[in-house]
Structure 1
Amino acid sequence: MTHHLFSQAWAARLPAGLESGLSGAALALLLLPAMPGVLAPLPLAVLHSRLARSEGGRSALRDAFTFALSFFTVHLAWLPTSMADVLGPLGGLLTVLVLPAAALTWAVPLALTRLAGGPGTLLALPFAWVLLEALRTTGPLAFPWGAPGYALTDTPLAQLASLGGVSLLTLLVTFAASVLAGLGGRRRGAAALILLAVWSAGLLWARLGTRAAPEASRTAVLVQGAIDPRVKARGRTLEELDVYLTLTRQALSSGPAAVVVWPETASPLPASDARVRGPLRRLNVPMLLGAPGDVPGEVRNSAYGFDERVTGRQDKRVLVPFGERLPLAGVLGFLYTPLLNSLGMPGYTSATPGKRLSVFPLGDLRAGVSICYESVFPGLSRQAVGAGANLLVVISNDAWFGRGQGAEQHFQMGRVRAIETGRFLLRAGNDGVSAVVDPRGQVVFRAPRGERAAYRVPFGVTSTVTPFVRSGDWVLGVSFAFLLLVLCCRRSARSGP
């Protein structure tokens, strides 16, 4: 049996479950902003080592689930608290159920990889990670929080996202974990050289394969209204609109701006409503703002472009599960009805998802907009840039996250969209995070959270087409093909002479 570096360091002292649990928690901590995310392969190597040495699917599932549950318990520690603030103690308690559900989205695919990969498990695992993270971005329960690749956001290796998206970053982190997990084998030197070569190539691309960020020669105004979401929940009023209009006028009194950005649901009425349209026209500046949709009889969360008139509307396409819509409501309605009554939300109505992409023309700007949760889905920003967007904009309301790490994680993931597409990103949040991110993912400006203000900020526009925009998530296709090859080779070996 192969003796692994991490097994020797941990297993002699720790029970198996505690080893997996501590490793999962360590990975969660390394995904926190300002932590050395480049170390993320280390706790993952412990998991990969255990999976490769497991006796079968049951033990692999146990180890993977323990690791994942520990990870998500730490990574999503803010979730029950924030939901309790919005929905009360029962709502916070029910949110705890997200943790084992999220853990299963890692544990089941990883255990299946062990069953299918056999002796080649360590080689198959990195590609399985890419596939499972792609699956977590699809379907009615899509929740891609916590992908390992985001650990590299604040490292030079993050520039590889312009080549292959966050999938390539995840592949890089998990490949390093598999190499480290096999360092005790007979081919230790070869494995170490492969790891060194791959990471060196990544650093070389970061230095030579990407362009320097263009000059931020334009001015935008980001407006942060800091309106308590619980006040909004009790009923929208025109006083909210007045807050944003006043802050915008104050910022524009210092000089013109290329664009003004208000956050998600900033206006209580659609921008097409005369009570909103008139005051916006008098501001005399191109704008992007969040407001309700104007489709009668439907709840829609929308973004509007405004330049003397409404120039476009885009409805939020990816809705937050259990927040903006009830997944499988037609089947599970008998469960939702009493639950909503218990939470004091008997009249809850799921929002209607949008279907169309809009690239908003605002002078010579072509803005691709993501509404809050949409910013963690790489395909949406890629689609916008492919349709001609020379600027990315995120409008969000992260106030319901509270003061935990949720808003920071949301912002961290969104920064990678700027690298993937080679675009400046303007972000306006109700109480933050309001910021400017350049095409290399660097934060040019960031406003204090919770402050009510409007900020004049620098930004630029670009027309460069990155390999990721041009070719899409090719890493996913390669990973799927490789796993099929592993499966075919495994079956061939079993049926051989």
Structure 2
Amino acid sequence: MTSLPARLLLAVAAGLVTALAFEPFAIAWLAPLGVAGVTLAAVGTRPSRGFLVGLVFGLAFMGLLLPWLQMIHPAAWPALAALEALFYGLGGLATTVVARLPRWPLWVAAVWVLVELLRSSVPFGGFPWGRLGFAVVDTPALPTTAYVGVPGTTFLVALVGATLAWLVLRGRTHLLRGVGVLAATVVLLCAGSAASLPGAPGPTEDPAIVTIASVQGDVPGVGLDAFSERRVVLDNHVQATHDLADRVDAGEAPQPDLVVWPENSSDIDPFADPTVEQDVADAARAVGAPLLMGAAVGDRADDGWFNRAIVWSPDGRPEASYDKQRPVPFGEYVPLRPLLAPYISALDQIPTDMVRGTEPGVLDVGFQAGVAMCFEVAYDDLMHALVDDGASVILVPTNNATYTGTGQIEQQFAMSRVRAVETGRYVVVASTNGISGIIAPDGSVVRRAPEQETVVLEEGVQLRSVVLPAVRFGRGIELGLAGLAVLATLAGLVGYRRRSPVAQPEKVHEHS
């Protein structure tokens, strides 16, 4: 393939195919095919064209993955897709360069890790949506995440795709070797499913089990109107908890050890409104268990506010709390507000920025529970820190009411399933209107609530203390692979400058 239009057309197709690997489509085996397609489009051309190939791939990929951003503002979808596509443009450039090196599928796969690291970090704290490691839910590759984390899983998925591309280009002369490499890579990717999950209780162990209730109160409306009736949202969760207490008293439900409400289950500050404080305290006393609730605390019209998870004791007193550390850009705060606000009137809907929390999210609720609020489940460092700080179960209070009926809620729930495997912990998700669920450490969904209904999920969950390799070594794996990608790109650039203009594809691959 030599013509630029043909390369760009293949890049578009590869981007769309890659997006189909993620929720709500969830055709996971398409992920390596997407990688193979964009690799074929980038290999054997100039770096500048490689950038263009990657950019077009990124626009198609992010364009199909993120249409739910329209619920915030019509411009949010194309704007974020274009921003993220720039990172894939850099990936396309690097792919063009490293494909001139021996064993280039390894370096191409490492480039994917580097690209995902960059776009998960900058700007404004990054946007980790659409990482290849999140696409392996419901596949034999999922258990491998417990060993190598999301970055390592991304590397292996990308390695399968890059090896497929290598086979297409060199299969005629190295077919047997190429098939062998591809088979070995697939076996490595799925190796976790053939081994016992590290840290799983053995047959003689008797792990502590606690009963946790996840309350989905439901909210009125959809989109940005979903929280226009703030008191109704709170009342729904209060009433659902009282109903649970009645069932416990009647012997129809087990006594919970912890009740979890979603993020923003009270959009009214309970410390500023005595009636709200009283209602929450009464609910905790009625159910006779610690109650973790999400609330907007502070003045949204003046000095800033906190997105806070607060533990109320069984006797109705507020105790421990956690403030969300990763606010959503242009959702909970406005980056570059002085520069942008005069020109974008829609930013008036966010008059005050959320204040970032600074303390770890592990709270004592009778046992050590780690809290990651909504968007935070996408970030490796926050999730790993919960385990490092002693969390024996992970709670994900989330508010996805704005995105009702879109792929966003399925995408985030899939991330929670991957995190359960990666951390070796039960993950309890409490959402305002879906998806709420309880996820086992192997990523299986034990309980799941239907969307837009008032539901209380109760389940006995095991408390875990093991630290899996993904948590212990995941950051090192990510930085190591990203570092290899940088070194390979530099080596390829040096070789590129020593050569005449772009070699033909046959020459590019003669040392592979």
TM bucket normalised to smaller: 0.7 to 0.9
Partner of 1:64: 54
Matches within 5 A, 1:328-477: 328-329=336-337, 333-340=338-345, 343=346, 345=348, 348-363=351-366, 365-477=367-479
Letter in 1 for 2:482: F
CA contact (8 A) 1:289 1:305 kept: yes
Q: Residues 39-93 of structure 1, C-alpha deviation per residue, up to 9 Å, x if partnerless?
A: 3211210111221122x1221112111111111111112222x22xxxxxxx313
Root mean square deviation, CA, Å: 2.7
Q: 1:44 aligns to what?
A: 35
Which secondary structure state, in structure 2, belongs to the residue aligned with residue 445 of structure 1? strand
Structure 1 pair 190/311, CA: closer, same or farther in 2 (3 Å)?
farther
Residue 316 of structure 1 pairs with residue 324 of structure 2: yes
In the other structure, the counterpart of 1:181 is: 165
Deviations along 1:356-384, whole A, 9 cap, x unmatched?
11311111x21100111001112111101
Contact 1:312-1:360 within 8 A present in 2 as well: yes
SS of the equivalent of 2:342 reads: helix
Cα distance in 1, alignment partners of residues 350 and 196 from structure 2: 53
What residue identity is the alignment partner of 1:168?
G
CA distance, structure 1, for counterparts of residue 423 and residue 55 of structure 2 = 34
- The correspondence for 1:112, drawn from 94, 103, 110, is 94
Q: Distance in 1 between matches of 2:333 and 2:247?
A: 42
Paired AA for residue 112 in structure 2: W
TM superposition shift of 1:160 = 1.3
SS in 1 for 2:480: helix
Q: Which residue in 2 is equivalent to 1:78? A: 68
Of the structure 1 ranges 177-186 and 262-271, higher mean CA displacement relative to structure 2 is found in: 262-271
Measured after TM superposition, the shift of residue 319 of structure 1 is: 1.1
Q: Give the deviation of 1:395 after TM superposition.
A: 0.6
Alignment of 1:192-271 (within 5 A): 192-211=179-198, 218-228=210-220, 230=224, 233-234=227-228, 236-237=230-231, 239-255=232-248, 256-270=255-269
Q: 1:25 aligns with which of 9, 16, 25?
A: 16
- Structure 1: 5+ residue stretches without partners: 1-6, 84-90
- TM-score for the superposition, normalised by structure 2: 0.85
Equivalents in 2 of 1:40, 1:472: separation in Å?
A: 21
Alpha-carbon separation, structure 1, partners of 2:138 and 2:219 = 30
Deviates more, 1:387-396 or 1:216-225: 216-225
Q: Which shows bigger deviation, 202-211 or 306-315?
A: 202-211
Deviation, structure 1 residue 254: 2.2
Q: TM-score, normalised on structure 1?
A: 0.87
Cα offset for 1:37?
0.7
Please state whether the residue corresponding to 1:73 is helix, strand or coil: helix
- The offset of 1:116, in angstroms, is 5.6
Q: In structure 2, give the amino acid aligned to 1:360.
A: L
1:144 equivalent in alignment to 2:128: yes
Contact conserved, 1:117 with 1:487, CA < 8 A, in 2? no
> Aligned residue for 1:292?
296
Question: Which amino acid is the alignment partner of residue 48 of structure 1?
Answer: T
Alignment check: 8 A CA contact 1:213 1:438 kept: no
Taking a change above 3 Å as real, the CA distance of residues 374 and 93 of structure 1, as seen in their structure-2 partners, is: same
SS at the partner of 2:134? helix
Q: For the residues of structure 2 that align with 1:29 and 1:494, how far apart are their CA atoms?
A: 35
- Cα deviation per residue 1:259-301 (whole Å; 9 max; x = unaligned)? 1110001123445565415324423211211012358933111
| Greater displacement, 286-295 / 69-78 | 286-295
Segment of structure 1 superposing worse, 36-45 or 318-327: 36-45
- Identity over the aligned pairs, expressed in percent? 27
Aligned residues: 471
